[in-house]
Structure 1
Amino acid sequence: MFQKHGEKSTKMDVGKINDNVLELGYGRGNALKYCFDKVANGNGAVFGIDRSSYMEDCARYRFALEIAETGKIRLDRAPDLRNLPYPSEVFNHILHVDFYYFIHHEIMPYICKELWRVLKPGGTVICGISFDRLKKLSHWGLLEDSQWDPMRYMIYLEPAGFVDVNIEYKSRSKGNQYQMICARKPQINEVRSCAVDFYLFTYLLIR
């Protein structure tokens, strides 16, 4: 999933050697493996949350050696993503694929705010999606079109405090296309700058 678009496609830089990365809904663990390879020789770590005890067992079996010998992969379970079992500002990146389709719109704002809480300033949220695959699922009656509409997720990111919210269109080397929703938690000085800009804007309006 994690590739840049263009002739010189390279792996997307979703983590550096000392970064802490969280994946929501890790499934078979492919992204966990990719991120682990990035942090294996540094001080970073990879965290994963999945609601399925079966997928957790599969991932623990797959990464038994890495978990035992390095401690750099941690698997947790969180039945309610509005309350993640982590302290504030601990992750550099949060990744997820096939995540927001099954979340009710009433709790989406609280989940986005919780993602914002556990991210470090400057940290990013990246959601990988494939419109072509999702359209097939809709055609087969497994999903409603409204469930995977990216705007259903994106409209809650900015109110939660994220900036640079956008959707990027990518291509794999075989020509298959996919999309990525990206957002960033602003640095502390950016938050202060926005507050000053808002104050000045309000002051000019009421003069």
Structure 2
Amino acid sequence: MQKNSPKGEKTLLASLLLSAPGPIVTGISALLSFSATQVADFFRRTTELAAIAVAFWVYRRLRQMSEPNEDKQAHMERMAERFTGGAMIFSAVILLIITIFRIFSYQVGGNVTMGLVVAALGVLVNTWFWLRYRALNRENYDAVMAVQQKLYRAKACADICVVVALAAVAIAPGHPVTWYTDVIGSVIITFYLFWNGLRTVQK
């Protein structure tokens, strides 16, 4: 298998462990705030965690193969790509439905501090993993690492949108501009995830 497979597996495991608390913390924050961006972020992190788990499982299985099998390897790598892309598309559809619902039933956001902290940390962590996967791919290209690079680039960009939207809610929850910021933040996340997911599935 790939020369860099031990480093790749460790990176995938680290990303899986660091992503695991995200849905729980974001879900609690979504229940407290009722922010459209926060609810959207919960679904996004949950589906992304599932995609990372599948990628880790596939990568580990490929490393454990006693004899190289190109057909099986290609099939499993394609499965990881489709699952990751499908997770992003599914998340985008759910986000769009929630955003439309929130447009017609908007309420002033509650406490978004927890979600804001998680999103801010997410920008830093996801950017690091994006650069890490890119470095691994430049060292020795791998299909699973490549799709994780795309996923973490999307995660980092989405977290930036979440930070901006939640910061607006935290600073001025009752201001008219906050409504637009909250909804626009959800829309940006929705279409960015859909675009990246579609590109990954159609590869």
TM-score range, shorter chain: under 0.3
Higher helix share: 2
Higher strand share: 1
- TM-score norm. by structure 2 comes to 0.26
